[in-house]
Chain A
Amino acid sequence: MGMTITEKILAAHSGAKNVCPGDIINCRVDILLGNDITAPISIELFEKAGAKRVFNKEKIVFVPDHFAPNKDIQSAEQCKRLREFSRKHKIINYFEVGRMGIEHALLPEMGIVLPGDLIIGADSHTCTYGALGAFSTGIGSTDLAAAMINGKIWFKVPSTIKINLYGKLNRWVSGKDLILYIIGKIGVDGANYRSMEFCGEVIKNLNMDNRLTICNMAIEAGAKNGIIEPDKETLNYIKKKARRKYKMYKSDSDAKYEEILEFNCSRLEPQVSLPHSPENAQPVSEVGNIKIDQVVIGSCTNGRITDLIEAAKILKGKKVNPNVRLLVFPATQAVYKEALKKGLIDIFIDAEGVVSTPTCGPCLGGHMGVLAEGERAVATTNRNFVGRMGHTKSEIYLASPAVAAASAIMGRIASPEEVVGK
C-alpha cells in the first residue's frame, strides 16, 4: 500500500520500511530547536538528568527570539542560560542577537532545515518547515531535553488530511488568506493530531515564503504537521542554502488519506480572522467598519521579504492614519538588509511606521507593541486569543501583510483594493 510524504519521512527516520497511521515509532531527529522561553526548562532537565554532553552539537539549534533583545532582567537571565549552555556544549547553531532572527524564518533561510528532514522544536510553530517537504512538529521542553540527550523522539504516526487548492488567486490573496480560510472551514481542532498535506495548482504557483506561511499555521487547526511536496520552487529556494544531503519525498498515488478536502480559491477574497480565534475567518469586505489602534506586520508567520514587499506596495507614498501606530518587524537580519536594499524600509519610515529589530515581541504580548485595555490591532501574526497581545480586553484581527498595510492607512480594517485599486 502506498504512503503519504509524512508517512515516508517518519518511516525513514524510524528504520521501518512501512508505517501506518496509529503505529507508535521511535524516530531519529535531524534538527532540534529551542528558544529563550522553552529551552531554559530543557536545559534544567538535561542537567538534572545528569547528562554530560548533547547527542550532536551540530543538530541542536538555539535562538533567543521571543523576549530578545532582552525585555527585562528575568528575560535576560533566560537568554543568558541559553548562551552559556551553548558555549559550554559548543552548540554551533546558537544565534546571538545581531546574528539571529525569528526562529522559523531563520532556519529555512540559513539552510538548516531541508527537504526530507525530521525536525522537532519546542515551539508550536515548528510546523513551518513542512513547506520544504520536511516532517516538522512542535513539542514541549521535556521532549526537547530527552532528544538533546539521545537524538530520538517517539511519535504516533498521524493520519493525513489532503487539502487540494485549485483555481486562480485574485490579486492580494496570499498564503495567509488561504490558511485563514482553511482554518475557518475546519476549525481550530479540525486537524487535531493529524497531518495536513497541502497540494494543488494554487500551491504549485505559490513562492516559498507563502508556503511557509501556510504550513506555519497548521498548528492553528491543531495539526501535528503541515506539509507540501517539494518541487522546482523548493529546489530553487534551497539550492544555494543546502550544505548537506537532503531527500525529496512525494506521496504515492495510492497513499491513503483520512479525508480529502477540495477548495476552489478563484473567488476567494483576502481574509480577516476576528477575535478571539483564528477560526473566525471572514472575507475582508464583510468585516464592517472596525476602527483600529495598531498594526503589526511581522512574526514567524508573515515577516519574510515577500510579506514586506506586499506591505510596501500598499504603503508607498502614503501616510499611516494619525490614529494608528504601524510596527514593522523584518523577521531576520537578512530580511532586514534586503528590505533596506529594496528601499522598503524608507517606504515604511516615510509612511510614519516604525521598523524594529527581529523579535517575536508583540505577537505573544511580550514587548515592543503590547496593547492597552480596549485597543484593537490588525496583525499578520498567528493567534488572536484573549490577551495574546496585551490586555484581556484588547482585540486582535489576523490578516495578511497587504490587508494590514491597507488598514494602517485607512485607520480601520480595509481591503488593499480600497487603497491601490485592483
Chain B
Amino acid sequence: MKLRGNVFKYGDNINTDEIIPARYLNTSDPKILGKYCMEDIDRDFTKKVRHGDIIVAGRNFGCGSSREHAPIAIKAAGVSCVIAKSYARIFYRNSINTGLPILECSEAADEAEMADKFEVDLDRGIIKNLTKCKTYKSQPFPKFVQGIIRAGGLMKWVKAGERE
C-alpha cells in the first residue's frame, strides 16, 4: 500500500487529550471526532489537513488515555499514516486495532518539516521525503498486521476470516 501526503509535524509526548480532547468524548462518531482532531495542539489542523496527509512526531506519540477515539479521530480527519520516533503502548495497539497505519522512524521524524511531501510504502516500510529527496527505512508491519490495517481494523479483519 502506497501513501502520499503533506507532513504535519509535531514534537514529543503528543498526548491523547491533544489528539482528541475529552470534551468531545460524549460521542464515538468518527465524523464528529475527526472534526476536532489535534484541536488542543493545532487549532488549524482540521482546516488545513487534506486527505492522505501524514502526521510526523517525536517520542511517545499518543501517551495518556486509552481512548480509541484518538486513532479514530486521526483516521477520520483524513490522515493516511503517522510516523513517530516512538509510541505509547496503548495508542500503538489501538492504532492497529482501528486500522490506522503507524511507523516508527527517528531519522525521518527528525528531518521532516511542516508541509514536506512524503511518500510511504507501508508493505516495505520505505519512507520518502520527496521535498528533501531523502529515503528512510523503517520496520514494516508483519503480513498479518498489514492485513488488519487493510481490513480497516481488528474486528473487521476477524470478521473477514483473517484471509491475509
Interface residues in chain A, defined as those with a beta carbon under 8 Å from any beta carbon in chain B: 37-38, 40-41, 44-45, 48-50, 66-67, 71-72, 74-75, 78, 121-124, 126, 138-143, 145-146, 188-189, 192-193, 219, 222, 224, 277, 364-366, 383, 385-388, 392
Complex CA distance for A402 and B72, rounded to whole angstroms: 39
B6 at the interface (CB under 8 A from A): no
Q: Are A364 and B22 in contact (CB under 8 A)?
A: yes
B120 at the interface (CB under 8 A from A): no
Complex CA distance for A403 and B104, rounded to whole angstroms: 40
8 Å CB interface, B47-79 against A? 59-60, 63-69, 72
User: Which chain B positions have C-beta within 8 A of A142?
Assistant: 68, 94, 97-98, 153-155
- Binary flags per residue of B20-31, CB closer than 8 Å to A gives 1, else 0: 011101111000
User: Which chain A positions have C-beta within 8 A of B93?
Assistant: 139-140, 143
Complex CA distance for A219 and B64, rounded to whole angstroms: 7
Complex CA distance for A139 and B94, rounded to whole angstroms: 8
Q: Are B21 and A387 in contact (CB under 8 A)?
A: yes
User: Which chain B positions have C-beta within 8 A of A219?
Assistant: 90
Q: Given A38-B66, A142-B154, A385-B15, decide whether A189 and B40 contact each other with a Cβ distance below 8 A.
A: no
Residue of B nearest to A222 (CB): B88
Interface residues in chain B, defined as those with a beta carbon under 8 Å from any beta carbon in chain A: 13, 15, 17-18, 21-23, 25-28, 40-41, 59-60, 63-69, 72, 86, 88-90, 93-94, 97-98, 153-155, 158-159
Beyond A141-B28, A192-B88, 6 extra complex contacts between A and B, CB < 8 Å: A48-B159, A123-B65, A192-B60, A192-B86, A383-B17, A385-B18
Could you say which of A50, A72, A193, A386 contacts B17, with CB atoms under 8 Å apart?
Answer: A386
User: Which chain A positions have C-beta within 8 A of B64?
Assistant: 124, 383, 385
Could you say which of B13, B26, B67 contacts A188, with CB atoms under 8 Å apart?
Answer: B13
Q: Are A140 and B40 in contact (CB under 8 A)?
A: no
User: Which chain B positions have C-beta within 8 A of A145?
Assistant: 155
9 cross-chain pairs, A with B, having the tightest CB-CB distances, nearest first: A142-B97, A140-B94, A74-B26, A364-B22, A189-B60, A140-B68, A387-B40, A124-B66, A138-B66
User: Which chain A positions have C-beta within 8 A of B63?
Assistant: 188-189, 222
Complex CA distance for A124 and B17, rounded to whole angstroms: 13
User: Which chain A positions have C-beta within 8 A of B155?
Assistant: 45, 48-49, 142, 145-146
Q: Are B23 and A365 in contact (CB under 8 A)?
A: yes
Complex CA distance for A71 and B27, rounded to whole angstroms: 12
Residue of B nearest to A277 (CB): B13
Residue of A nearest to B87 (CB): A192
Could you say which of B18, B66, B69 contacts A139, with CB atoms under 8 Å apart?
Answer: B66
Residue of B nearest to A142 (CB): B97
Minimal beta-carbon separation of B69 from chain A (angstroms): 8
User: Which chain A positions have C-beta within 8 A of B66?
Assistant: 38, 121-124, 126, 138-140
Complex CA distance for A71 and B155, rounded to whole angstroms: 30
Residue of B nearest to A81 (CB): B28
Minimal beta-carbon separation of A215 from chain B (angstroms): 16
Q: Are B26 and A78 in contact (CB under 8 A)?
A: yes
Counting chain B CB atoms within 10 Å of each CB, the highest count among A140, A366, A387 belongs to A140
User: Which chain B positions have C-beta within 8 A of A383?
Assistant: 15, 17, 64-65
User: Which chain B positions have C-beta within 8 A of A224?
Assistant: 89
Q: Are B154 and A146 in contact (CB under 8 A)?
A: yes
User: Which chain B positions have C-beta within 8 A of A189?
Assistant: 13, 59-60, 63, 86, 88
Complex CA distance for A193 and B15, rounded to whole angstroms: 16
User: Which chain A positions have C-beta within 8 A of B65?
Assistant: 123-124, 364, 383
Residue of B nearest to A48 (CB): B155
User: Which chain A positions have C-beta within 8 A of B67?
Assistant: 37-38, 140
Residue of B nearest to A145 (CB): B155
Q: Given A38-B67, A364-B17, decide whether A67 and B26 contact each other with a Cβ distance below 8 A.
A: yes
Minimal beta-carbon separation of A31 from chain B (angstroms): 16
Complex CA distance for A7 and B93, rounded to whole angstroms: 20
User: Which chain B positions have C-beta within 8 A of A192?
Assistant: 60, 86, 88-89
